[in-house]
């Protein structure tokens, strides 16, 4: 873990907290933000950055999900349940966001030497382990079969997944993104996605393999740790952990050239999302 420990150590950590403001905007906003910050960090005009974000009652779909044979029925079901949906510009499959799910993006520069894919995942895994070290529970990184958006860096305790990690690389920077199910029922979130795929596949043979969801393998940190955690409390843990690994930790928002850059990236992800989804309207 030595290399990943070093990645956590930065001269400056810039913090952009959108855990409250994100509740009032589309999740597309966050994907435009991370692309903007990749460009800014990758060019050297911004130091390493951590951004936190929360979006309410939204299912973030992967491009593979749009190949479901009965996508219209599956999307209508999400709407009936009071969920919005978007198609993200990075890989993976459907995940659930709500007010009890904290997303963290770590944006790191790649100019000096490349950060390989596993190192990107490992730095986030290391951060989460340090944030919750006082609970003395083993946080594993391995695929949890039956979870939604399964991957080799699913984070779990006692075989139950509470977080998933993804990566996006552009403009000499890498954005490592995690969703943390802080509170609420992991099983209920799993049931939502289980029904989404059930309606979308409708027992048809499909060229692509879609996950068979087992809701019982999903849980929130509050359920797993036996304490009532809030997003604000987890934010505090994040800031204290980063403070231990930084010469300087400071709060910020988009500055200068980042503002028109965000407008351009946000427009790009919005147009792409609309183009993909118009086939199902």
* Backbone dihedral angles phi then psi of residue 181, each to the nearest 5 degrees: -80, 100
CA 4/CA 139 separation, integer angstroms? 16
Q: Return the exposure string of 193-221: e unless at least 16 CB atoms fall within 10 Å of the residue's CB, then b.
A: bbbbbbbbbeeeeeeeebbebebebbbbb
Residues 6+ apart with CB under 8 A from 133: none
Of 94, 145, 155, 150, nearest to 125 by C-alpha is 155
In the sheet with 246-251, reading across from the earlier edge strand, the strands are: 140-141, 155-157, 160-170, 173-181, 101-109, 49-53, 10-18, 246-251
Q: Give me the catalytic one of 149, 218, 224, 246.
A: 149
38 is catalytic: no
Tell me, rounded to whole angstroms, the distance of Cα 91 from its chain centroid: 11
**Residues that are catalytic:** 149
């Amino acid at each position: 873990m030595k290399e990943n420990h070093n990645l956590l150590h930065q001269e400056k950590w810039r913090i952009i907290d959108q855990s409250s403001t994100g509740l009032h905007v589309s999740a597309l906003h966050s994907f435009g933000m991370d692309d903007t910050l990749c460009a800014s960090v990758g060019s050297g005009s911004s130091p390493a950055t951590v951004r936190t974000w929360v979006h309410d009652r939204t299912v973030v779909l992967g491009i593979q999900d749009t190949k479901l044979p009965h996508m219209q029925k599956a999307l209508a079901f999400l709407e009936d349940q009071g969920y919005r949906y978007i198609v993200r510009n990075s890989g993976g499959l459907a995940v659930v966001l709500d007010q009890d799910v904290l997303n963290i993006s770590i944006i790191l520069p790649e100019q000096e030497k490349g950060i390989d894919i596993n190192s990107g995942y490992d730095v986030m895994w290391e951060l989460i382990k340090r944030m919750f070290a006082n609970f003395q529970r083993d946080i594993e990184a391995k695929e949890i079969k039956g979870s939604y958006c399964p991957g080799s860096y699913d984070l779990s305790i006692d075989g139950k997944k509470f977080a998933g990690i993804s990566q996006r690389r552009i403009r000499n920077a890498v954005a490592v993104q995690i969703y943390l199910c802080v509170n609420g029922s992991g099983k209920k979130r799993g049931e939502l996605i289980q029904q989404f795929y059930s309606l979308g596949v409708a027992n048809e043979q499909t060229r692509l393999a879609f996950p068979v969801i087992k809701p019982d393998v999903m849980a929130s940190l509050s359920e797993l740790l036996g304490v009532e955690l809030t997003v604000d409390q987890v934010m505090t843990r994040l800031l204290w952990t980063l403070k231990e690994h930084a010469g300087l930790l400071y709060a910020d928002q988009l500055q200068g050239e980042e503002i028109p850059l965000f407008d351009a990236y946000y427009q790009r992800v919005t147009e792409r999302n609309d183009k993909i989804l118009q086939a199902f309207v």
